[in-house]
């Protein structure tokens, strides 16, 4: 399976993409062999035209690759599985963190991928930099559990967290990609439930518009050719099921953003979801929300994942840590 890598990408970013593609070789071969043994042989073109098969492959490849990369997590980072009123979560504790201050983290994966085991990196990276504990929320994913299952689980986890004695003033909500959109939807839901809101939110390349109509979807298509737009649209539909894609609790870009806490948004200018970040920032500012937006040159979707390669990735994480210090202190 050969996925085109844009010649327009910065040299070091292009190299990283090539490395990641090489890492995919083993799970690709294993998956194709598995399907052949099941009597369901696939080729790349067939895979692209079959969203359920592509999802099965993406989940399989993610499991193989990310579990391998988990070996890079420092041994002094502690993970503790807990039950938050029925929602599985992981406490992520770094040395010298303040345990009464918490980052509630909602992972990315298009609402259809992700597990507690495969989404450990950001809670420990940001928690370590911000010197706070992280609560990684294992919300249910689609298509097995469509909207509003993920949002319901996020609300339950937040309520559980505050019931343990953690003040909302000591909580930051964060998320990447779909998790970033879910984080904003959670803020809207908490506000509408008249619950105390957290001190702020940190959003990495948030997916805030499930209509997938931002100009950057097409403008930046060449930079992110690894996943076909049709599959991205399918992920949104799998999560929505019969829900209106402009429902603010699924696509918070269309919501009333008044009275939300401060937001920090980091995105890449080469990513397809760039407009989801810039438009969210514009509408939130118009609603009177304190927003800090930074669009990084030459960067792709959730570029912080390249923290072991790119200086910008580490710089972004450092700035997020500084922001958390500022908001919570």
Q: Which amino acids are annotated catalytic?
A: 177, 271, 301
Specify whether the CB–CB gap between 231 and 54 falls below 8 A: yes
Give, as one character, the DSSP assignment of residue 149.
H
7-18 as b/e, with b when 16 or more CB fall inside 10 Å?
Answer: eebeeebeebbe
In angstroms, rounded to a whole number, what is the distance separating the alpha carbons of residues 229 and 2? Answer: 17
Q: Which strands sit side by side in the sheet containing 291-296, from one edge to the other?
A: 78-84, 87-93, 132-137, 98-106, 171-176, 200-204, 263-268, 291-296
In angstroms, rounded to a whole number, what is the distance separating the alpha carbons of residues 186 and 288? Answer: 18
Q: Sort strands 132-137 and 291-296 into parallel, antiparallel or unpaired.
A: unpaired
In angstroms, rounded to a whole number, what is the distance separating the alpha carbons of residues 113 and 98? Answer: 30
In angstroms, rounded to a whole number, what is the distance separating the alpha carbons of residues 73 and 117? Answer: 12
The number of residues in the chain equals: 329
């Amino acid at each position: 399976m050969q996925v085109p890598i844009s010649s327009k990408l910065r040299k070091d970013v292009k190299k990283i993409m090539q490395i990641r593609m090489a890492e995919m070789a083993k799970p690709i071969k294993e998956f194709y062999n598995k399907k052949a043994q099941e009597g369901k042989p696939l080729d790349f073109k067939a895979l692209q035209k079959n969203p359920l098969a592509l999802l099965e492959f993406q989940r399989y490849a993610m499991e193989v690759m990310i579990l391998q990369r988990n070996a890079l997590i420092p041994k002094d980072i502690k993970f503790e599985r807990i039950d938050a009123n029925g929602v599985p979560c992981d406490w992520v504790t770094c040395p010298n963190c303040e345990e009464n201050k918490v980052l509630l983290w909602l992972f990315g994966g298009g609402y259809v991928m992700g597990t507690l085991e495969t989404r450990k990196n950001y809670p420990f990276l940001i928690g370590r930099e911000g010197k706070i504990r992280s609560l990684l929320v294992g919300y249910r994913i689609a298509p097995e559990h469509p909207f509003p299952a993920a949002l319901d689980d996020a609300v339950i986890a937040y309520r559980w967290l505050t019931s343990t004695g953690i003040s909302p003033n000591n909580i930051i909500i964060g998320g990447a990609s779909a998790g970033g959109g879910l984080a904003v939807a959670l803020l809207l839901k908490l506000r509408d439930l008249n619950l105390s809101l957290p001190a702020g939110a940190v959003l990495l390349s948030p997916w805030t518009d499930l209509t997938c109509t931002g100009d950057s979807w097409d403008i930046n298509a060449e930079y992110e050719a690894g996943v076909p737009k049709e599959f991205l649209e399918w992920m949104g539909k799998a999560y929505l099921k019969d829900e209106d894609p402009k429902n603010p609790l699924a696509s918070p870009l269309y919501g009333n953003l008044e009275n939300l806490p401060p937001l920090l948004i980091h995105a890449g200018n080469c990513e397809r979801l760039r407009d989801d970040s810039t438009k969210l920032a514009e509408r939130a500012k118009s609603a009177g929300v304190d927003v800090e937006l930074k669009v990084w040159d030459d960067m792709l979707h959730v570029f912080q994942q390249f923290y072991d390669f790119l200086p910008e990735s580490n710089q972004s994480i450092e700035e997020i840590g500084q922001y958390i210090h500022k908001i919570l202190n």
